[in-house]
Structure 1
């Protein structure tokens, strides 16, 4: 077995100061790519993210007859005819959760058979609730394991009038159904079977993106939406910077008492993870309890930051983190305790970080198993700003959403070994 590459962050001797422009939002880029592909005409998506996740989405759309040009590093020009075509091969989507879930619903509009698959990590990520919702709506979708690969036998259209979904495990299931609903032959209602929904703010992102592409979405109450059968129309769409990526830079600034200009104010983000800024600004006096349900991708950042807080922090409602690119609750537990035994503990789906400001300036021998999860790699790099000897395994996995992450930190004065 080949030895994986590692990267060691050398704690800087000074504050991190400078300007870093975060990449475009992964969440918004993949929504916009899909809606532009389903639209008739040519759309220009500016400020977009070019990373592994968006590459998997764009490649899959090209396989289904969509023309996608890339005139520069932050722009996609997407030309569609309003109908996805049957791909010649299975759609391989790596470990891109948004791509798999959004496309599983969208390809039911294809007139033919489509197989959606991913890497060995993706084959462990549940998609059962979405498949069940589509099946109850009369669509032919199946998976032997409740995870990818998924087989869809599309009929060229969607006759359903209502989809019911349990959104507790992932808001992406809800977003997938909402985006599909505008392609129906008549109005379609999307209803939650319970009030819980993971990261509801991402559903708001989805609706805003749908409306930009001409969809009509009526919010009937907190558990019910009605989507008109408008289809989508092409438009020019500006994608905001990625709030999840921004959390690492906000935390790096807090840990080193620095000043990092992101070129965008925290209040200008519409993504749920931007809520983390309020917590980061309280460091080293973070709240005793932090609810992770509505800013899930920011929790790894906050958990590492909490290790240097004045007082312990309990992170609650983290069940969704167990079905991300890896079990992030376990990965955070392992990584924090690798830095110092007893630094973290787990109770059910709660993560307790003991917190110790005296960690700063110490040395450890911690090899961080990232499980090829970009967020685990990026968050533990923050610990390396204060503690020597932290080695990040498979550092290139950051390419999933932030290919220039290591360059960004280096531009602020961080060095590596």
Structure 2
């Protein structure tokens, strides 16, 4: 696999734990919920509020893309305001490396009058976009693209006909969500049929459906692999963003591998966030997990056990879970995650390479990894500009001295405060 090696000056020494971690970690809002709230707010004709939205690179790119299309987005206060209005081109959208931007915004941008171009970071051009671009073409949108990825340009007439479309969303659930979120603005709404291997990260589609309904859309998802959204006006409203449960993974993992206790306040009792699966995963890895009015508390038992887990619905948790598996006392099998090859980097290959450098025996398979723990040693872990890889390396660093991250700044994609929160967690209870 190819990647750009970070300069040595960008390296970050991952701190090691000197004993069991005991900490409470307050996390900012969910990236996935914030991105959907921004887009749905832009699709209304009034002013919506977003309370507790995540301020990070991905969401900043989403806000900037909406502004480029003529939407008023004020994200300077705790409660952001978004005022929807008719969209206009010409405009350019910088997607960075954000799948939510490159896959959610095109359907909304297609309703603009004028041209809208999309591009992003170099690796973003390798992320799968073909099914979405073909679907938009089938729905009556004029699309100009040299390949089935970024860059591309949409030429809008101010409306999208909509109707029925069949997509293969086996590479990313975002391909379905991207079509559904703007469908109320299409003349005929939309019927999306998935045809192909199972759609990964299904909880994210449930989040899309739940938030569409909260905004007043009529959505029918009763039939497997079929989603129907009727045309109609969305309602401006106040969105309250839950803590980002996927970003909780490395902090809670710290409790698992140090035999400590970490609490994340505000953990919802019902949620469509895939990160909620951490409760079951960390229990399987040998920790005690408790959810109460204080939040979610994970306590390590002093033993980390290997697991056999299907992570097809929660692939974004794979890097941190793999890091914990690397310090377990028995082998682990992580499966159902072939789609991770099309994420911010080829995460399966990256994990196999970097865990192998640390001393772990890793077998890379088509749809996952087999991890056999061995004595670990410190080394420089390449992060591949991938925030989840950086988090996984930091977790390993808790148990292994002399681990360095090639670049910790990539965590700004979804959690700019990561280095500060990480060191603060380690300073609590010591």
TM-score (norm 2): 0.90
1:60 aligns with 2:65: yes
CA contact (8 A) 2:204 2:272 kept: no
Shift of 1:128: 0.5
CA contact (8 A) 2:383 2:389 kept: yes
Shift of 1:105: 1.6
Cα distance change, pair 286–278 in 1 and its aligned pair in 2 (3 A): farther
Q: How does 1:287-366 map to 2 (within 5 A)?
A: 288-340=307-359, 342-356=360-374, 359=375, 364-366=377-379
Cα distance change, pair 123–312 in 1 and its aligned pair in 2 (3 A): same
CA contact (8 A) 1:312 1:353 kept: yes
Shift of 1:266: 6.4
Shift of 1:346: 0.8
Shift of 1:414: 5.4
Shift of 1:317: 1.7
The 1-side partners of 2:324 and 2:378 are apart by 19
1:5 to 10, 13, 16: 10
The 1-side partners of 2:189 and 2:75 are apart by 34
Cα distance change, pair 287–14 in 1 and its aligned pair in 2 (3 A): closer
1:80 aligns with 2:119: no
CA contact (8 A) 1:163 1:177 kept: no
Q: What 5-or-longer segments of structure 1 have no aligned partner?
A: none
The 2-side partners of 1:3 and 1:385 are apart by 21
Cα distance change, pair 351–266 in 1 and its aligned pair in 2 (3 A): farther
CA contact (8 A) 1:24 1:48 kept: yes
Shift of 1:291: 1.1
1:25 to 9, 26, 30: 30
Deviation string 1:226-246 (CA, Å, 9 cap, x unpaired) is: 211113221001011111101
Tell me what 1:119 maps to: 121
Shift of 1:268: 4.1
Q: How does 1:12-411 map to 2 (within 5 A)?
A: 12-72=17-77, 74-81=78-85, 83-88=86-91, 90-194=92-196, 196-265=198-267, 267-284=269-286, 286=305, 288-340=307-359, 342-356=360-374, 359=375, 364-411=377-424
* Secondary structure of the corresponding residue to residue 408 of structure 1: helix
Deviation string 1:92-134 (CA, Å, 9 cap, x unpaired) is: 1211111111012211111111101101011111201111112
The 2-side partners of 1:220 and 1:380 are apart by 41
* Secondary structure of the corresponding residue to residue 313 of structure 2: coil
Q: Which runs of 4+ in 1 moved over 3 A?
A: 1-4, 265-269, 284-288
Shift of 1:70: 2.2
Deviation string 1:196-255 (CA, Å, 9 cap, x unpaired) is: 111111001001111121111012301112211113221001011111101112111111
Cα distance change, pair 87–21 in 1 and its aligned pair in 2 (3 A): farther
Q: What 5-or-longer segments of structure 2 have no aligned partner?
A: 1-5, 287-303
Shift of 1:2: 4.9
The 2-side partners of 1:182 and 1:286 are apart by 47
The 2-side partners of 1:376 and 1:414 are apart by 23
